[in-house]
Structure 1
């Protein structure tokens, strides 16, 4: 694993050389993994799938069980309420305007992490472990099947796609609610403003290309709608030689922290009773010319003999505790094509 400073130096060097590599950066930015494409068998249990490239496709993964069992065991409402009360106090003091509060949910399931990597329908997928050299921050194997890109670079254009807002498509008014709800609109506006400012630290001509577009996501429990925005800008010509600096300047990802970032991260650390590890970090691939990366959400990890799903949602002063609790639990799903 590499520290933040080691990661910056290593990514800068690989970018300058035009050497393809995969990477994983933890939420705290201090426990990071880099895999050069030439590594061959090193870290055999690290697998990635992104639009720009794949590594370790697990073609020998066992088939899915005929009858899938996937039963979340949500944390008690009282436990979530305590965390919610803590973050609400920070919001009322003005320490934060928007804060992403996360919880860990044990799941009783007959699925394995390789199943999740191999069969989950998502544009960005990652598997780490059980090899101790590549497993998670706490030595735990984990899998991620993320729908949310972090930054994408094509040529010199950099774009980021913060995702804010989720609704159950089975509800007839779901789309209209996502479009018109004041709390959802304020969350999007806050994060878009934050990410526009973040991109302005590394790019020029930053602009909001698409604001609050809605996409369907299929799950075993039905279709959900998710709201995203697209912000883009122009990188300097020598951006690959500064790749590590650029990525770290944009982290941690605003959509899974909040605004303002520094004070919000302190409030998160005070409220949450779990270590995020690689959850809400990022993972990605640089192919020597362009880059894909994703926010590590829709995330499961081993905890002893159990699997735990980490999920969360944005909290503002307008949030209602019971609604936010239900949203965090509703995000405990696996998008299989069945």
Structure 2
């Protein structure tokens, strides 16, 4: 059943974990609308999910058209620039070193949200009550056999650009941004685990879509949990929220700054979703997100801002992320 608050959500996650009961969960960006439910109790008419193959839908039954078109309206550059300048002012003042700036951008869809769920290709896919659809490539944390791992994703480039991989890995701004977020996630994991280390640093993921192909840069960070971790799944997850990759550093102050700059409620966008199969937990960050807002559709998109960021290139990146990865 749904929970009324994070305390109940934590208690249920701990109980399900202790008793090896499979469950699916969502937590919104503001930690105000948590959802947790036993897999056996989820109504597929209200929620469809596919988290790395762990799913409640039958793809053999769908006959949806894979030709999905998105028409994107232009976000007012002046509006973006105003928010960007506010963040930069705080960064020059030393209040933040990295801030993830996002905006909702109106789009027209050539398909329903449920069709997008079925046709998109991503690690973490979710359709929820026809309110929103998520097709996210970004892992939040995985827990398996006493180890917790996180995979922050920072740095995006159009794969069609000549020498794109070399360019993104050599970019000083992108390298600084990635280093900052890896350090933040490493510190976060130290709150819940021991022997935390970076196992793999700045590797390339390829994101394929029907509009454009992208390269994104990720790292892998690992730590060891205590022997009773299954009894504390809820506590572990909540200590790490909100996700560092979609907030910034230092996290608490940067969240205040981006809320003032963005002037809208992210809702479930930039929250997390995932499952526990009774033994392993896998979760994703809810980016690549389309929401139904009073009958109009908005694609929520964003990117990391540092003191080295250029407003025009960040604005372009924001718009370049408006796509549906269709296989």
Both proteins in one fold, TM over 0.5:
yes
Please list, as runs of the form range in 1=range in 2, the aligned pairs for 1:177-326 lying within 5 A after superposition.
177-326=167-316
C-alpha contact 1:217 1:224 (8 A) present in aligned 2 = yes
C-alpha contact 1:145 1:299 (8 A) present in aligned 2 = yes
Q: Equivalents in 1 of 2:293, 2:267: separation in Å?
A: 12
Q: Deviations over 1:271-318 (max 9, x none)?
A: 002210000000000011111000000000101222110010000011
Q: Equivalents in 2 of 1:310, 1:234: separation in Å?
A: 34
Equivalent residue pairs, number? 325
CA gap 1:114/1:61 in 2 versus in 1, 3 angstroms: farther
Match of 1:91 in 2: 91
C-alpha contact 1:52 1:285 (8 A) present in aligned 2 = no
Q: Equivalents in 2 of 1:275, 1:64: separation in Å?
A: 32
What's the CA shift for 1:62?
A: 4.7
C-alpha contact 1:113 1:127 (8 A) present in aligned 2 = yes
What's the CA shift for 1:222?
A: 2.6
Q: Please, which of 151, 158, 162 is the counterpart of residue 168 of structure 1?
A: 158
Would you say 1:55 and 2:45 are equivalent positions?
no
Q: Deviations over 1:21-42 (max 9, x none)?
A: 000000011211112112154x
What's the CA shift for 1:57?
A: 4.2
Q: Equivalents in 2 of 1:55, 1:27: separation in Å?
A: 24
Match of 1:334 in 2: 324
SS at the partner of 1:107? strand
Match of 2:47 in 1: 46
C-alpha contact 2:66 2:119 (8 A) present in aligned 1 = no
Q: Equivalents in 2 of 1:214, 1:104: separation in Å?
A: 27
Q: Equivalents in 2 of 1:231, 1:40: separation in Å?
A: 32
What's the CA shift for 1:74?
A: 2.2
Q: Equivalents in 2 of 1:239, 1:215: separation in Å?
A: 30
C-alpha contact 1:52 1:292 (8 A) present in aligned 2 = no
SS at the partner of 1:219? coil
What's the CA shift for 1:49?
A: 0.6
Q: Equivalents in 1 of 2:218, 2:58: separation in Å?
A: 28
Q: Equivalents in 2 of 1:240, 1:98: separation in Å?
A: 33
Q: Deviations over 1:143-187 (max 9, x none)?
A: 100000100112111100000000011111311111111110101
* Alignment gaps of 5+ in structure 2: none
* Alignment gaps of 5+ in structure 1: 131-140
SS at the partner of 2:208? strand
C-alpha contact 2:150 2:221 (8 A) present in aligned 1 = yes
C-alpha contact 2:212 2:323 (8 A) present in aligned 1 = no
Q: Equivalents in 1 of 2:118, 2:32: separation in Å?
A: 28
